């Protein structure tokens, strides 16, 4: 009832192809693909840095906890 049928979708795609042309759409698709690849690569590189940061943060919080318990015991 309120959805888009396959024919409406095909008409919209045909109008877009007529307006922009296949060459421009192809370059747009390539640019979009490169952007997605770059984003995925950046996310993959970020994970090891986050893991290293978490280790350092865990060590510093452990030493802070030890210092506070030593002060409380004294």
Structure confidence by residue, pLDDT tens digits, 17-68: 999 998 999 999 999 999 999 999 988 887 776 666 677 777 776 666 666 6
For helices 22-73 and 6-20, what crossing angle results, to 10°? 100
According to the model, what pLDDT value does residue 10 have? 95
Count of domains in the chain? 1
Is the predicted pLDDT of residue 72 greater than 70, yes or no? no
Measured torsion, CA atoms of residues 17, 18, 19, 22, in degrees rounded to the nearest 10: 40
57-to-40, 52, 54 alpha-carbon distances in Å? 26, 9, 5
Q: Is residue 1 part of a domain?
A: no
> Could you tell me the residue range of the domain that residue 59 belongs to?
6-73
Q: Report the predicted TM-score, pTM, of the whole model to 2 decimal places.
A: 0.46
**The tokens 């997605």 sit on which residue?**
36
Q: Which residue has the higher pLDDT, 46 or 16?
A: 16
Cα dihedral: 10, 11, 15, 18 (round 10): 60
Quote the pLDDT of residue 3.
86
In-domain check, residue 47 = yes
């Amino acid at each position: 009832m309120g959805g888009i049928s396959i024919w409406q979708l095909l008409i919209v795609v045909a109008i877009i192809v007529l307006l922009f042309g296949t060459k421009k759409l192809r370059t747009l698709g390539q640019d979009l693909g490169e952007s997605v690849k770059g984003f995925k690569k950046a996310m993959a590189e970020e994970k090891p840095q986050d893991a290293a940061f978490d280790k350092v943060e865990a060590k510093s919080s452990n030493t802070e906890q030890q210092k506070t318990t030593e002060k409380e015991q004294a």
